[in-house]
Structures are given as structure tokens and as C-alpha cells.
Amino acid sequence: MVTWDTIPLSAGRKKKMGSVFRLEGGLMGALTKISDICIISLLWLFCCLPVVTIGASTTAAYYTVIKVVRRQSGNLTQSFFHSFRENLKDSLVVNLSYLALTGLLAFNIYTVYQSLETYEMALFLLFLYTACLFLVFMAGLYTYAFLSRFSMERKNLIKISWLAMFRHMPSSLLLLALFLLTCIVIVAFPIGAIFMPGVFIACYSRIMEHILRKYMTAEMLAKWEEDEVDAQ
């Protein structure tokens, strides 16, 4: 399991020099982050190809954005595959559960949609199943973020993810909106698949990091705040 303690900052990182072309800031810093986002997108897409590994891929992308893009520590590819391997077993079981729920709800939505004109309750059921599908998507986003940070039993992981999703519903709805927007952009402009997953993960991590802080121990929170200061 990859946890917070495995996301160190580079001790020997050079201080910023003030030039617009410095590696850690200005133009070069922006270009580096853009290229990192594109690479993370491609790695995420590649590792999602088996479908059942979507969870491990999302967890790895989240971990890599925090460690490499935000904290400028470690090698991007190595960090991604390190997290992918470490979380593969747990995320595989969880992801299969979410895929089964998603498939069942999608089938129900399709079936009910076909009977809209003949079944009185069809519109209500269509709304109900769609709402449940969105809840599964939102809970999944919480699950993969928690998985990248904490070590816990799978049943507790799923439980706390659903509870946190309802507890932070405004943030959950914002995450859902970002997720749907990302899907729409990729469908409308397939070339967007090169960078949109990484952009979504970056925005997703910004929102989730504030939520994850509420579930950290005092020791973890102190280290988180210290590393945030060092990363600036």
C-alpha cells in the first residue's frame, strides 16, 4: 500500500533562481507541468485498457500528480508504476465491485429507457437509476483518493468513501461535474484524451486534498503541512 509517508520531497532540490526560464517556475515550470500532465494522461489510458485496472490506474495517477507534479519529487513514470503495483490487488477487488454496480445500473437505465412510452413509472425509475449511477461514480473517486493515501481493510475503505461522499456532497457534485465535463470534451474532441484525463486528475486532487486532511492523524497532517510549505 502506498501511503502518505511514501511521498517525500527531494532533500537536495535546488532553490529557485528568479529567472523566468528556471526549471521549477516560470515558463519552463509551466511547460514541465503540462508535459507531465500529458504523460500521466497517456499512462492512465494505457493502464486502463484491461478495464478492471481502472481503479489502480486512477489511484496511481492521483499519487503521481501529488508527488511529481505538485511536490516536484521523484520520477514520474517510476512513481506511477510503483503506486500501480502497490495498490493493484486492493483496487482490483474494489473496482470489480464498482464495475458490477455500474453495469447493472447501466443495464437498468437502458431497459427502462426502452419502455418510456409504455410504462408509467419509467421516467421515475430512469431518474432513480441515473442518480444511483452518479453516486457510484462519486464514491469511486473518493475510494481511489483514500486508497492512494491510507492503508485500511477494503470494507472500511468502501464504507468511509461512501460516508465521505455524502458528508462532502457539494465537493462530490463538483467532482461529478468535472468528470462529466471531461467525458464530454473527450467525446467531442478525441484528441483531448491526450491531456484531459491528466487535467481532471490535477483538478480532482486539488479538491480531494482538502477533504483528505480531515481524515489524517495529527502526525500525518503535520507532515502534510510541512511538505506543502517546502514545495512552494
pLDDT tens-place string over residues 22-50: 445 567 777 888 889 999 999 999 999 88
Low-confidence stretches of the chain (pLDDT beneath 70): 1-26, 220-232
pTM of the model: 0.80
Q: According to the model, what pLDDT value does residue 229 have?
A: 47
Residue 74's CB: how many other CB atoms inside 10 A? 18
Q: According to the model, what pLDDT value does residue 227 have?
A: 55
Q: According to the model, what pLDDT value does residue 1 have?
A: 53
Q: What are phi and psi of 153, to 5 degrees?
A: -65, 150
Pick from 155, 168, 158, 116: which is nearest to 136 by CA?
158
The domain locations on the chain are: 18-231
Q: According to the model, what pLDDT value does residue 33 have?
A: 84
Q: According to the model, what pLDDT value does residue 224 have?
A: 58
For 185, residues 6+ apart whose C-beta sits below 8 A from its C-beta are 192, 196
Reported in sequence order, the residue ranges of 104-156 that DSSP labels E, i.e. its strands, are none
Q: According to the model, what pLDDT value does residue 176 have?
A: 96
Mean pLDDT rounded to a whole number for the chain? 83
pLDDT tens-place string over residues 49-84: 888 999 999 999 999 998 887 777 778 999 999 999
